[in-house]
Amino acid sequence: MKRIRLYFMVAVLALAGMMATEAGAQVLRDADFNSIGRINGNGVVRDGTMHSIGSFDADGTVRDAKGNALGIIKELEIFDTDGTRIGYINTDGTVRDGESNIVGYISINDGKVTNAEKKAIGFARGVRVDWIACYYFFHFFGNK
């Protein structure tokens, strides 16, 4: 059962990654659907004024604008630089913190991002779910 779940998680992540890469830069939006930034297919994160604020490396490392490591993503789990798991994403799009508390949801169908109370906080269609979680829920790039 764990093996099937792992294969499913990898398939979802691969599909989301392919969609993000094929589409090029994807717009990050707030709850009112205003553009607040972009993530391109190479993992570069830009703010609303198109200044680079960080990146996602191919090996899963999350970096700030100066290239400093902020954390790492491994198979839909997010770790800080000390190796402590600070969150993870379930295959249904539920985002949980390191204590398994729900912090929000990411709709795989339309990219809608909601908080734990299911109130919309943003939209990120065609962006990998783990990147969305790092941006909206774990605030790796200083956004609120």
Nearest Cα residue to 122 out of 39, 51, 22: 39
CA distances from 134 to 3, 4, 44, 55, 92 (A): 25, 25, 13, 11, 17
Instruction: Judge contact between 111 and 128, C-beta under 8 A.
Output: no
- Residue 131: domain span: 2-136
Contact 96/87 with Cβ under 8 angstroms?
yes
Q: pLDDT tens digits for the chain (144 residues)?
A: 656 665 555 555 555 544 444 446 799 999 999 999 999 989 999 999 999 999 999 999 999 999 999 999 999 999 999 999 999 999 999 999 999 999 999 998 899 999 999 999 999 988 899 999 999 999 888 865
96 located within any domain = yes
Task: Report the number of distinct structural domains present in the chain.
Answer: 1
The answer to whether 35 and 47 are in contact (CB under 8 A) is: no
Any domain includes 142: no
Domain containing residue 119: CATH number? 2.40.160
| pTM of the complete model beyond 0.85 | no
Name the token pair of 108: 């795989």
